[in-house]
Each structure stands twice: as C-alpha cells, then as structure tokens.
Amino acid sequence: MIRPELVKLITAATATTVSDPVNIENAEKITLIFTRENHSAGSTAFSVEVSLDGVTYVAFSKMISNVTNTNAQTKTRVASVSLASNTSSVVAMDLENDIYRWMRVTATETTDGTHTAKALIQRHA
C-alpha cells in the first residue's frame, strides 16, 4: 500500500518566507494546502518553484486550482494562490508530463498575517 507523506513546508511564518527545498523525485501526485491566519489587512501570495538540480529554480505555473468548473471546461492552472482573509486553499501539481527533483514554496506577505504551507506527496512504488 502506498502511503502519502505529509511535509510541512512553511509553519506559522509572519513575514515573506521561502521554504527549504523538498525532494519530490519519483512523486506521482502532490497536493498542497496554503493557509493564511491572523489577517487584519493585506494578503499572502503562495507560489511554487521547481528544480532539476537543486541549484536553478523556476516558477511552477501548472498548479491545478480548486475552482468550480463546468463539465465543458478544462482544469484551471495557476502560478500562485493569493489569500486575503483567514482561509485556506488547496491545489494539486500537474505532474502528468513533468519530473523534478526539488520543490520549494514561497509565501509573500503584504501587510500582516501568519502563513502556512503543507504538501502531501505520493511517490511511485
């Protein structure tokens, strides 16, 4: 049985923060949850960067947003998720045609708030 691994990327940060790199080699599925708490003003923008070698990182613009679509629409892919209240948002990484060795998350703060990011990673057996 394959057991996904829960990884805490950013925990209760109160300023703009970049997570430590996480190895995602052999990842089949990755779901991320971004949370903003202690909101009074401003927002938090969460983004993901990926790397082949752990040195050069590029923006990952294929996070599948958890938005409501009709049956005729395709999946909505985004480069970042912005939260402007005490809330959470979930996205999945579209890995259908890609493979990466490393991933990191950035939480960019505007004004205030507490920022948390977690990933659930399922690897090939």
- Three-state secondary structure call for residue 90: strand
- Three-state secondary structure call for residue 63: strand
Task: Compute the half-sphere exposure of residue 117: CA atoms within 13 Å on the CB side of its CA.
Answer: 31
Domains and CATH numbers, the chain: 5-123 (2.60.120.380)
The predicted model gives 47-73 an average pLDDT of 88
Average model confidence (pLDDT) across the chain: 93
pLDDT tens digits, one per residue of 30-41: 999 999 999 999
pTM for this entry: 0.92
